[in-house]
Structure 1
Amino acid sequence: MRSLYPEIQPGETGYLDVGDGHRVYYERCGTPGAKPAIFLHGGPGTGISPQHRRLFNPDRYDLILFDQRGCGKSTPHASVRCNTTWHLIEDIERLRAMFGFDKWLVLGGSWGSTLALAYAQTHPGRVSELVLRGVFLGDQASLDWFYRFGASEIFPHHWAAFSGAIPPEERNDLIAAYDRRLTALEGAAQLEVARAWSQWEAATVSLLPDPAREESAREADYARALARIETHYFVNRCWLRPDALLKDATRLADIPGIIVHGRYDICCSARNAWELHRRWPLSELHMIEDGGHVFSEPGITDRLIRATDRFAGIAEIPSPTN
């Protein structure tokens, strides 16, 4: 099984003024002049971490990572103003132009896969390869599964806490109910709602429980950004036409890609990965039989490293199943 590359520090960090009052934090890692790549984090509303740098061989990649608008070190924190899918796609293009890359590999997981697909379908000539993990299509079916009925049947005790934060008369649309509160409330009252939102996600993303992750989801800045930005995106259906990412998969016709998805991903149904694979001729699907949603699960990490290695021209190391 492949594991993450050794810890690495960025060679360059900074802030890019993208307009609308937003400044996005970025990191450049690896070897300048090597194969260009960009990493797109999940959420929307989480941010990058040092672990994400380690998905790429630093000798073979010139890697860009950035905190999306309102996330991580980007400012203003937790802001939803001028923060949409299309703003983020423009930000990705600004970063590409700033570093002078003609094309780059795009790796995105969870919401990052949604953004990667939307970016690739908008700018197919700028994407050399796609690596997607835990595919989220931003469609109504995916939102209903996780926030209305589906995941609720698998984690009923966590669902009781999540839905219980909202009065019974508003539970027919929990996304909208949470969004109203996160928009109207401030201070401790807002944070209480944000924590209820973030802890539902933290409790369901991996095959096995992770108490440390569930506790970290309570951290104030993390919970507030995740909850405010996710509900803002989801109440607006990510500003995507219905089923757009599947209908526009023909725009990926010339882009090779690898899809990695946990069989027991409760956040994002395996249906998403399968349906995308069926419509994308140059894609390769790896269903991880002992995986959930997070990239840190061993089988998922293994396949992601193999994917980035392959596209960097590194010889394949036989996997245990070969």
Structure 2
Amino acid sequence: MDKFPSQKRAVLYLYPPVDPFDQGTMAVGDGHTLYVEQCGNPKGIPVIVLHGGPGGGCSPAMRRYFDPNVYRVVLFDQRGCGRSRPHASVKDNTTWDLVADIEAIRSELEIEQFIVFGGSWGATLSLIYAITHPDRVRQLVLRGVFMMTQAELDWFYGGGAGQFWPETWARFRDLIPEEERGDLIGAYHKRLFCGDLRVETKHAQAWSSWENALASVYSSGHGGEAPGEYARAFARLENHYFVNKGFLEHDGWILANTDKIRDIPGVIVQGRFDMICPPLRAWELAQAWPNADLRMIRNAGHALSEPGISSELVRAMDQIAETLSA
């Protein structure tokens, strides 16, 4: 018997599985090569999907939020993760490199404008890209908003979320000596980049497990142990970005620059019980962004696979298709 049967129902809201009509690799400089694919209608409405993490990579399930007869869907693995190479590398890997990569993909595929669809870190990157290149963004569709602020990092890595999941938090925290627990991001950074593959993998799996355990509202508090290679890329990249505060000029940079996207329509789909990215940030963003439609989903957490999240994202993309095709 499935422990979380409602999670399985999420797939009922998605379009059927679809294979790419185009896939390959693209060199973007600095020794990095990205995996890029396209699926759906080659002449359809362009939409680019920005995955989470940083370091999460894209998956076949991400193709299924879009009507394949209507949308031309572009997915890619960001620098250092998934099928992009070099794997788990943080060299020449910053937010601004990723923004430049999105522009390179857009130019290579000869797309004038696209809808930008992103969740969690993908929502962060979507907002930063839109602020930087507002003329290239037709619409934003965001899920599980993360604004890359110190308050959010303190919540998740400073014990805030741990008050709700004390036993899960203890497993994550106690891997670090007590004298270093005042800065868990920094303490994990030392171990994720120590040069000892065994130590790096052990701490990468603990880092990934802490996040995975809190992703779903249906969680039992156990995130499972991710495969070492995946966990190492995910944890190293995420930690690298967090140590460097997202490579933004100052704390609160996204909210301070929201005026640059004020004319871009947007949909924000947010789980009411998101333990990783609490709803406050989505609400603050919607307050500062006149064209944002905030859809708070009851009985939902952070994960893309939550039934309420999945159904609302598909509904949003169908509504956008109707509007743009009218």
- Name the TM tier (shorter chain): over 0.9
Of residues 228, 236, 245, the one that matches 1:237 is: 245
- Confirm or deny that 1:154 pairs with 2:172: no
Offset, 1:181 = 1.0
Question: Who is 1:255 aligned against?
Answer: 264
* Partner residue, 2:97: 87
Tell me, yes or no, if structure 1 residue 168 matches structure 2 residue 178: yes
Distance in 2 between residues matched to 1:25 and 1:218, nearest whole Å: 21
Q: Is the 8 A contact 2:159 2:169 kept in 1?
A: no
Aligned to 1:138: 148
Residues of 2 paired with 1:210 and 1:14: CA distance? 38
Q: Quote how far apart the aligned CAs of 1:187 are.
A: 1.7
Q: Take 1:32 and 1:274, find their aligned partners in 2: how far apart are those partners?
A: 35
Equivalent of 1:105 in 108, 115, 120: 115
Q: How far apart are the structure 2 equivalents of 1:210 and 1:54? A: 27
| 1:70 paired to 2:80 | yes
Q: How many residues are matched?
A: 313
**C-alpha distance in structure 2 between counterparts of 1:167 and 1:214, whole Å:** 22
Deviation of the 1:149 alpha carbon:
2.5
Q: Which moved more, 1:230-239 or 1:187-196?
A: 187-196
Q: CA deviation at 1:309?
A: 1.0
Pair 1:25-2:64 in alignment: no
2:293 is aligned with 1:284:
yes
Deviates more, 1:1-10 or 1:138-147: 1-10
CA distance in 2, matches of 1:204, 1:117: 24
Shift of 1:221: 1.2
Change (3 A) 1:127 1:314: closer
Residue of structure 2 equivalent to 1:228: 236
Give 3-state SS (helix, strand or coil) of 2:322's partner. coil
1:204-242 deviation digits (Å, cap 9, x = unpaired): 11101268x833x42111110011001100000001121
**Secondary structure class of the residue paired with 1:37:** strand
> In the alignment, is residue 183 of structure 1 matched against residue 193 of structure 2?
yes
Please give the alpha-carbon distance, in whole angstroms, between the structure 2 residues aligned to 1:247 and 1:304: 26
Aligned to 1:318: none
Q: Specify every segment of 5 or more residues in structure 1 that has no aligned partner in the other structure, as ranges.
A: 316-322
Question: Counterpart of 1:220 in structure 2: which amino acid?
Answer: G
Cα deviation, 1:263-310, whole Å, max 9, x if unaligned, reads 000000100100000000000000001100001111111110011111
TM superposition shift of 1:253: 1.1
Match of 2:283 in 1: 274
CA distance in 2, matches of 1:132, 1:179: 29
- State how far apart, in whole Å, the 2-side matches of 1:99 and 1:210 are: 43
Secondary structure of 1:25's match? strand
SS at match of 2:146: coil
Q: Are 2:136 and 1:126 aligned?
A: yes
Match of 1:301, SS state, is helix
Q: Which amino acid aligns with 2:120?
A: S
Distance of 1:29 and 1:259 partners within structure 2: 24
**Contact kept? 2:214, 2:223, Cα under 8 Å:** no
Task: Find the aligned partners of 2:220 and 2:69 in 1 and give their Cα distance.
Answer: 33
Shift of 1:33: 1.5
> Partner amino acid for 2:235?
A
Note the residue ranges of structure 2 that are not aligned, 5 or more in a row: 1-9
1:36 to 33, 39, 46: 46
2:50 and 2:116 in contact (8 A); partners too = yes
Equivalent position to 1:218, from 210, 217, 226: 226
Aligned position for 2:311: 302
Quote how far apart the aligned CAs of 1:311 are.
1.4
Aligned mates of 1:28, 1:38 — CA distance in 2: 9
| TM-score of the superposed pair, with normalisation by structure 2 | 0.94
- RMSD (CA atoms): 1.4
After the TM superposition, which segments of 4 or more aligned residues of structure 1 sit over 3 Å from their partners? none
Per the alignment, do residues 285 and 42 of structure 1 end up closer, same or farther by CA in structure 2, a change over 3 Å counting?
same
Q: Give the 3-state SS of the residue equivalent to 2:141 in structure 1.
A: strand
